[in-house]
Structure 1
Amino acid sequence: MLQYKRILLKLSGEALAGADGYGLNAEMLERYAEEIREARDMGAEIALVIGGGNIFRGVSEAAAKMDRVQADYMGMLATVINSLAFQDVLERKGVFTRLQTAIKMEQMAEPFIRRRAVRHLEKGRVVIFGAGTGNPYFTTDTAASLRAIEIEADVIVKGTRVDGIYDSDPEKNPHAEFFSSISYLDVIRKNLKVMDMTAITLCSENVLPIVVLNMNVKGNFTRLLQGEKVGSLVHGDSC
């Protein structure tokens, strides 16, 4: 029996870059795809949202002099590039997928249609959501929260390269405090960099739990689905 049946997995674009720091790292793509394949084989229904920061970020230094709307659209296109790459590696592993985008690009992806996305999940396909929400000024964190609510996911899993939620960057501060469990309200009060405030608010209003874990530790994702305590849980005050 799985702890969570339907999961929205959020990966950053930087995670796909690996040690390269930019672009797509084939080893990281393979590693994450294998984790997803194992979870799918266990019976989990998995949807994916991938950031685009390894290619272009709308609020980056490179975009500083650009029109913000134009820069954000470029960021959305970067998420589609990452999504296409991830789709390719998953299907080479025998995992059926569907890519749905918030901006129409019929030659390479379906438009986002909630009922169709849910049906794909029910049929065992991994659904990848690209192009964010399709609107500027909204991050892929917010897109992940929105899509998770729309498909009635049981949880959002945010895959990072640290073990969970800390009060400061554990890669820079060895004394950073770790939170194994924390409420939405405390995330906002403490201004913790879990997801942006719009995303946290959406999850809070819809009582959608968030788990933050280290996706670079092999087996973390499947252990979470099997009910082990992995990473950090963001929840309502009543939990």
Structure 2
Amino acid sequence: MGDLQGTGVETETPVPRFRRVMLKISGEALMGDQGYGLHPPTVERIAREVKAVRDMGVEVCMVIGGGNIFRGLQGSAQGMERTTADYMGMLATVMNALAMQSALEAMGVFTRVISAIPMDQVCEPYIRRRAVRHLEKKRVCIFAAGTGNPYFTTDTAATLRASEMGCEAIFKGTKVDGVYDKDPKQHPDARRFDRIGYTEVLARNLGVMDASAIALARDNDLPIIVFSLDEPGGFRGIIEGRGTYTVVHG
């Protein structure tokens, strides 16, 4: 309980609905209105959203894609060997993670970038117990380089790390405020789901995450909360129990 200064009115501090969460965002989310690369004001805006949730006492993990710099599938489609292309995509996620770490630490948020591919001079290698300890100390952990293996997306990496860290939910930040039966930008009559099952998402190919990530979340009973990353305060709002979103669950 807090007191509004000078009014004598008691105010309640919202109790977070979650203790530990995974935030998954695409690399494209960091581009802003640019067609490529990093847009520092956008990176800073997302960092503020993360800080607001961390300041509530919630332990936050992150996985950021690399599509704003290099996407393995696109490289493969252009004739590059798939394994090489995927490793290049993993390195792009490290670059994005370091940019987000810089933005968060400029705001006073202690952050660790943890890579599935060892590169000790740049960031920490992935050791599960060490990562859990960072979270317990309220440090934001950004997991980079995917799973460290080609042929796996950052969606699957986020679900894997969320399961290993004991997260209570995966927050998938997108351009729309939930899961729709069809693209709402192209179809005004698109219907948003408040809740939908893993199996239906797979059967209808709704594109929430790739099939491997959805199946892994289902097997570990890990809910996926899809929300708009463009909505100011949206991440914190859902943690507090308000806002518009879709829950993918069993």
- What is the TM-score normalised by the length of structure 1? 0.96
- Corresponding residue of 1:174: 188
Aligned length: 236
The whole-number CA distance in structure 2 between the counterparts of 1:141 and 1:62 is: 19
Residue 229 (structure 1) shift: 4.7
Between 1:56-65 and 1:24-33, the stretch displaced more is 56-65
* Matching residue within 185, 190, 213 for 2:204: 190
The whole-number CA distance in structure 1 between the counterparts of 2:198 and 2:177 is: 18
Q: Considering only aligned residues, what root-mean-square deviation do their CA atoms show, in Å?
A: 1.0
Do the aligned residues in 2 keep the contact of 1:63 with 1:71 (CA within 8 Å)?
Answer: no
Residue segments in structure 2 that go unaligned for 5+ positions in a row: 1-14
Residue 180 (structure 1) shift: 1.2
- Corresponding residue of 1:159: 173
What is the SS of the residue equivalent to 2:99? helix
Do the aligned residues in 1 keep the contact of 2:75 with 2:85 (CA within 8 Å)?
Answer: no
- Corresponding residue of 2:104: 90
Is the aligned partner of 1:57 residue 2:90?
no
Do the aligned residues in 2 keep the contact of 1:57 with 1:63 (CA within 8 Å)?
Answer: no
Between 1:169-178 and 1:122-131, the stretch displaced more is 169-178
- Corresponding residue of 2:32: 18
Identity rate, percent: 56
Residue segments in structure 1 that go unaligned for 5+ positions in a row: none
* Matching residue within 219, 225, 228 for 2:233: 219
Residue 30 (structure 1) shift: 0.9
- Corresponding residue of 1:143: 157
The whole-number CA distance in structure 2 between the counterparts of 1:223 and 1:54 is: 27
Letter paired with 1:77? L
Residue 63 (structure 1) shift: 4.9
Do the aligned residues in 1 keep the contact of 2:234 with 2:243 (CA within 8 Å)?
Answer: no
Letter paired with 2:197? S
Greater Cα radius of gyration, structure 1 or 2:
2
Structure 1 residues 113 and 178, CA gap change in structure 2 (3 angstroms): same
Residue 107 (structure 1) shift: 0.2
Is the aligned partner of 1:110 residue 2:124?
yes
- Corresponding residue of 2:138: 124
Residue 64 (structure 1) shift: 2.0
